[in-house]
Amino acid sequence: MTRTAADRVLADLDDRQAAAVVAPPGPVRIMAGAGTGKTRTITHRIAYQHVTGAVPADVVLAVTHSAKAAGEMRDRLARLGAGSVQARTFHAAAMRQLRYFWRATGLPGEGPVLLDVDGRGAYYRYLRGALGVTLRTSAADVDAALVTDLATELAWAAARDLTADTYADAAQAAGRRPGMSLATVTGAMRRYTTAKRAAGVLDFADLLAVCARMLEEHEEVATEVRRQYASFVVDEYQDTDPAQQRLLDAWLGDRDRLAVVGDARQAVYAFKGADTSLLRDFTVRFPHAVTVDLVQDYRSTPQVVAAANRLMAGRPEASGPALVGMLGDGPAPVVERCADEDDEDARIVATVRGWLDAGVPVEEIAVLHRFNAQAVKLTAALRDAGVPVVAGDGSAYFARREVAQVLTLLRRRAAQAPDDDARPALDDALAQAGYDPEAPPDGTGAARERWDALDALRALVASLPQALTRTVRALSADLDRRAAEDHVPPGRGAVTVTTIHKAKGLEWDACLLARATAGSLPSVYATTGPELAEERRLAYVAITRARRHLVATWAADRPGGRPARPSPYLDALDPAPVRPARRVRDVPSPRRASASASPFTAGQRVTHDRHGLGKVVDVRGSNVTVDFGSGGRRTVTADGRLVAL
């Protein structure tokens, strides 16, 4: 029976996956490249050890970095007959142990009382109060951006297992650029820690440190935990931070029954405190460890995989064998050089339409970008062309406080003076929201994010046709429509527009990497060697999200006519010279050329200088029937008065 069960677990694994599955209980390092079956391999390994009796499932703790990953692992293990494995995030496992052994912590109460970090309520009040005391001002007068930046720095410090005494030196060495001085962060950190201790509460990050300290200081607790968990598995080990490693060490004690799985080439969370050297130097800590490299990429075509291999070739910080694409031949990756951002947006729309015409499902298309603010114009261009869009994390740009404030100010202006010129009205509303186009905040904190969001709104309006920006009433109505669309949940399918970071762990048939210029990818904020190395790994993540189709676009001119250079990573996608710049509207798409000579097509968003915004419902020669909403359907001539968005 055992032999039959073991054979079933090993069935359909490739040679390297099988080698990882049958390796001794530990220590084992599985270097799993993109698309190589990481989760499949690690769950089959746990199941194989269970059915062979090497390590029973009920003494295994499998640790992940997200609740979603933990749930997927539990489901797979249950189907493999190893459902008694505990699969949890680091924080969930720590919380469970703290609740059981709480009295050993010496802290008051009957169990951990957590601040509402996700809801931001009590947590932000504590942070605001700590900043108020540090800055010698009223807590009510503390800028919300400073509170957000403090939360970011506290999370980074906790991940690096730092205290108020060690934060400043570590932050300076790491090149941290919060929206306040490091001394202010240190002072607020001390006061925040004191306030928590006085109230007997913890925040989410405290769970790991308190649990680790409990195990380190109470041998009887450590003995009981180690008796329950005899073997450990860590998923996405390249994303592990020092605080998590400290807890893992406390669980292990002097044992080495540990299997880790990860990919150094996908280590992109150093800004959150992750330490990829833990994966890279695993064999230094465990010289007798078994290392297995998974190299057969079942996700992507050889053409996509070759681009990823070229990007990382010769990079010591992400060394490892080249991947082998197993999906079957597909089209070569394409790099599109565009004249400017408006031209780039039009090219992106044309590319997405081409994929849809070729039969790629709309939900299997993604547009990836580096910064959050870049999504605004990209999303608008696709929606104006009638393409359904969903944000990668479900967030709504127009729901941001500063953007909603501008829309409210425009709405009031439209009620008072509907026929006023829209552009000065917008400039005034942006100024009231705190936007100065000539003074972007320093650093990468919340103040800069707020400025970027408002700057993205200004850029969006600048790209709109004149009919929508002639009066305050027209502009306000158009932006309100966009805000409503931003909140509407997608239907059966939609194109995903998301940052590369949020795309990690996901995959699509077709991916388009937008705004691929130097200063965007790599980020202008990446200046040190480690930061630039992480930007390259981020480009690697973007490339390996694609199964078959991969296109990158970049604009030769930035807004304002400033010249731009392509991302240095694009050579890996297309070693041949890139296509020359040409405006997409000057070149009919294949579908249009085959359908008619008209530059318009059904479903396209258009604007008419007399009738306003509408959607094309029929094209017959030079006559275009457009649904103008409350203005009804009208057949108009495809002349200069009708403009495609």
Strands 290-294, 389-391: pairing is unpaired
Cβ-based neighbour number of residue 404 at 10 Å: 14
d(CA 525, CA 97): 40
Cβ-based neighbour number of residue 252 at 10 Å: 17
pLDDT number for residue 258: 95
| 33 labelled ligand-binding | yes
Specify burial of residue 348 (Cβ count, 10 A radius: 0-12, 13-18, 19+): buried
- 298 secondary structure, DSSP code: S
Question: What strands, in cross-sheet order, belong to the sheet with 508-513?
Answer: 334-340, 546-557, 508-513, 365-369, 495-499, 389-391
pLDDT number for residue 1: 43
pLDDT per position as a tens digit, 13-33:
999 999 999 999 889 999 999
C-alpha distances (whole Å) from 22 to each of 25, 50, 293, 495 are: 9, 11, 14, 41
Cβ-based neighbour number of residue 630 at 10 Å: 5
- 524 secondary structure, DSSP code: T
d(CA 11, CA 214): 43
d(CA 242, CA 250): 12
pLDDT number for residue 596: 37
pLDDT number for residue 587: 34
Three-class secondary structure of residue 531 per DSSP: helix
pLDDT number for residue 491: 54
Query: What stretches in the chain show pLDDT beneath 50?
Result: 1, 577-597
Axis-axis angle for helices 182-199, 121-135 (nearest 10): 130
Three-class secondary structure of residue 31 per DSSP: strand
Q: Which residue has the tokens 């509303």?
A: 429
DSSP codes, 76-143: HHHHTT-TT-EEEEHHHHHHHHHHHSGGGGT-SSSS--B--TTT-HHHHHHHHHHHHHHHTS-GGGS-
The secondary element (H helix, E strand) that includes residue 280 is helix 277-280
Q: Count CA atoms closer than 13 A to 19's CA, side-chain side.
A: 13
* Cis status, amide bond into 522, omega within 30 of 0: yes
pLDDT number for residue 579: 45
Contact present, 163 and 245 (Cβ < 8 Å): no
| 38 labelled ligand-binding | yes
Which residues partner with 57 through β-bridges?
none
d(CA 168, CA 601): 58
pLDDT number for residue 584: 45
Give me 511's structure tokens: 């991916």
pLDDT number for residue 251: 97
| 561 labelled ligand-binding | no
Three-class secondary structure of residue 491 per DSSP: coil
pLDDT per position as a tens digit, 564-602:
999 999 999 876 544 444 444 433 333 333 333 466 776
The residue among 48, 79, 29, 82 whose CA lies nearest residue 233 is 29
pLDDT above 70 as % of the chain: 88
pLDDT per position as a tens digit, 73-126:
999 999 998 888 999 999 999 999 999 999 888 888 888 888 876 556 788 899
| 35 labelled ligand-binding | yes
pLDDT number for residue 106: 84
Q: Dihedrals φ, ψ of 625, to 5°?
A: -95, 125
| 163 labelled ligand-binding | no
**Residue type for position 15:** D
pLDDT number for residue 393: 67
pLDDT per position as a tens digit, 287-312:
999 999 999 999 999 999 999 999 99
Counting every residue, how long is the chain? 645
Contacts of 545 (CB under 8 A, 6+ apart): 366, 368, 503, 506, 507, 508, 511
pLDDT number for residue 445: 79
| 385 labelled ligand-binding | no
CA dihedral sign of residues 202, 208, 212, 214: positive
What pTM, to 2 d.p., does this model score?
Answer: 0.83
pLDDT number for residue 365: 96
pLDDT number for residue 588: 34
